[in-house]
């Protein structure tokens, strides 16, 4: 089958609905993945999806392809991806597909292919799947696989609440931007004893408020106003598949997820003193500084939650986190990200501290940091553009430490004496990611102007694209 090869990305498949993706392709993917499973002696798979409009027809076609290949399918319907991963353990099924394009706009959809418990196909595995689809290298089973539908939420709620019991009654705001978490998160938090104030929890597949991305300033600014208006203890927002979270504290402070990573690290190290904690290249210097101060061992690795999960088979970190909001409590939970587990885990950490979240935040080292900035760039140009950027940044900051080895993976990190700069190309979308920070507002303003000037001299960046996000941080103080 003819297919756009660029939709097979580093750790999932994503593309434009009607252009790259179709029910026909979904069925071919089912046949390919089903054949892949059967060749690895696996005969069952879980299928779930987020709230996107095309999730239903794509799931249906995918299931048809899987059953054609002889795979028995358990359909769990619309769920969060963390709930999907959890269901693998609950159902004792190591394989599965989750239909979602995460934080991409509604005109996108995609597929995550499980490769064991809490793991997904990455790089080589995705390329194997691509080759199978292109060659239509499928094995038709002698008999179709069986299909059953299962409701897993009651048991999921019970398990999470048993792991993370709360005694303090928090007042929390939940605003998932009309996406999937709206149908699941409020109920879990109420069962945990919270007073829940709901904003935009009615699921709407058209994404009427725009992309549900916790790293976008407009999303957390909306949450900030809601928290202050409600006089809540904390506010939660989620992306469309619910594995990532965004946080606003009781004082209305927006807590970017690398700072949240530092807060989580302190709590985790109380339970696992001296342990190793892994974070991605985009994280602020506040993360390794806080980990060291709390007696832990910081370990930096390349961006991409599947890469981090894979690396942790070797590193054995007790906790892993990313700027984007993926958190893995590997020593206390399963080795996957679950935004609802992270939400309750944060509430538990606040309760155990005996302080307000804003007070915990004030105890951390302070940097003036940009949000995660995304600048649109075509998939076939983004790697070359990062390669062009490296010598420019080296020349501009000759005294800095340059990290461009496997820890950076798909970009470069510039370690300054009082801050850092990261530029990388995305594994799951047509854009570059940029983040920078320094100790003071004055030095931050200078650095911001320098980065803005460098980026605007580059070709192939589309500043008007809907893919671009937080670009105003390059011009606003």
Which is catalytic among the residues 102, 265, 369, 426?
102
Spatial neighbors of 362 by CB under 8 A, at least 6 apart, are none
Pairs from 440-449 (Cβ < 8 Å, separation ≥ 24) = 440/368, 441/368, 441/477, 443/368, 443/418, 443/419, 444/368, 444/419, 445/477, 447/419, 447/421, 448/370, 448/473, 448/474, 448/475, 448/477
CA 452 to chain centre: 26
User: Does the annotation count 102 as an active-site position?
Assistant: yes
What does the alpha-carbon distance between residue 426 and residue 94 come to, in Å, rounded to a whole number?
28
Tokens of residue 4, six digits: 């756009």
Measure the CA–CA gap between 243 and 82, rounded to whole angstroms: 6
- As a dihedral over the C-alpha atoms of residue 356, residue 358, residue 361, residue 362, rounded to 10 degrees, the angle is -110
| Alpha carbons 30 and 41: distance in angstroms, whole number | 16
Q: Between the CA of residue 280 and those of 13, 298, 309, 349, 377, what are the distances in Å? A: 22, 10, 11, 22, 22
Q: Which helix (H) or strand (E) covers residue 160, if one does?
A: helix 153-163
Phi-psi map region of 178: left, alpha, beta (phi>0 left; psi -120 to 50 alpha): left
Catalytic residue annotation = 102
């Amino acid at each position: 089958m003819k297919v756009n090869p660029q939709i097979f990305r580093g750790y999932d498949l994503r593309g434009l609905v009607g252009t790259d993706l179709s029910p026909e392709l979904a069925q071919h993917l089912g046949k390919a993945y089903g054949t892949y499973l059967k060749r690895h002696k696996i005969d069952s798979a879980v299928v779930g999806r987020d709230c996107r409009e095309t999730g239903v027809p794509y799931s249906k076609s995918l299931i048809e392809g899987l059953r054609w290949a002889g795979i028995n399918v358990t359909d769990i319907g619309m769920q969060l991806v963390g709930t999907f991963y959890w269901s693998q353990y609950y159902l004792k099924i190591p394989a599965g597909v989750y239909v979602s394009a995460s934080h991409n706009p509604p005109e996108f959809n995609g597929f995550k292919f499980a490769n064991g418990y809490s793991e997904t196909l990455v790089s080589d595995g995705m390329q194997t799947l691509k080759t199978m689809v292109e060659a239509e290298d499928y094995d038709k089973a002698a008999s179709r696989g069986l299909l059953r539908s299962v409701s897993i939420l009651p048991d999921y709620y019970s398990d999470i609440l048993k792991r993370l019991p709360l005694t303090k009654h928090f007042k929390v705001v939940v605003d998932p931007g009309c996406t999937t978490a709206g149908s699941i998160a409020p109920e879990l938090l109420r069962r945990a004893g919270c007073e829940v104030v709901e904003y935009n929890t009615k699921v709407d597949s058209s994404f009427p408020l725009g992309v549900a991305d916790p790293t976008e300033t407009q999303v957390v600014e909306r949450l900030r106003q809601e928290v202050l208006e409600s006089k809540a203890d904390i506010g939660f927002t989620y992306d469309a598949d619910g594995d990532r979270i965004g946080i606003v504290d009781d004082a209305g402070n927006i807590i970017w997820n690398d700072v949240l990573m530092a807060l989580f690290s302190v709590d985790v190290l109380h339970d696992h003193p001296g342990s190793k904690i892994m974070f991605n290249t985009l994280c602020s210097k506040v993360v390794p500084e806080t980990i060291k101060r709390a007696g832990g061992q910081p370990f930096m690795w390349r961006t991409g939650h599947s890469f981090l999960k894979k690396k942790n088979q070797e590193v054995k970190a007790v906790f892993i986190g990313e700027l984007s909001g993926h958190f893995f409590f590997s020593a206390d939970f399963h080795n996957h990200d679950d935004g609802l587990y992270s939400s309750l885990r944060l509430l538990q950490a606040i309760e155990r501290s005996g302080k307000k979240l804003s007070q915990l935040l004030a105890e951390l080292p302070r940097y003036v940091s940009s949000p995660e900035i995304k600048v649109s760039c075509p998939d076939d140009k983004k790697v070359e553009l990062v390669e062009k950027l490296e010598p420019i940044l080296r020349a501009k900051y000759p005294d800095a430490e340059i990290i461009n080895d496997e820890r950076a993976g798909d970009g470069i990190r510039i370690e300054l004496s009082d801050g850092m700069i990261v530029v990388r190309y995305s594994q799951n979308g047509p854009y570059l990611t940029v983040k920078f920070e320094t100790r003071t507002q004055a030095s931050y303003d200078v650095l911001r102007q320098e980065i803005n000037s460098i980026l605007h001299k580059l070709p192939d960046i589309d500043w008007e694209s809907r893919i671009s996000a937080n670009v105003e941080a390059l011009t606003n103080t």
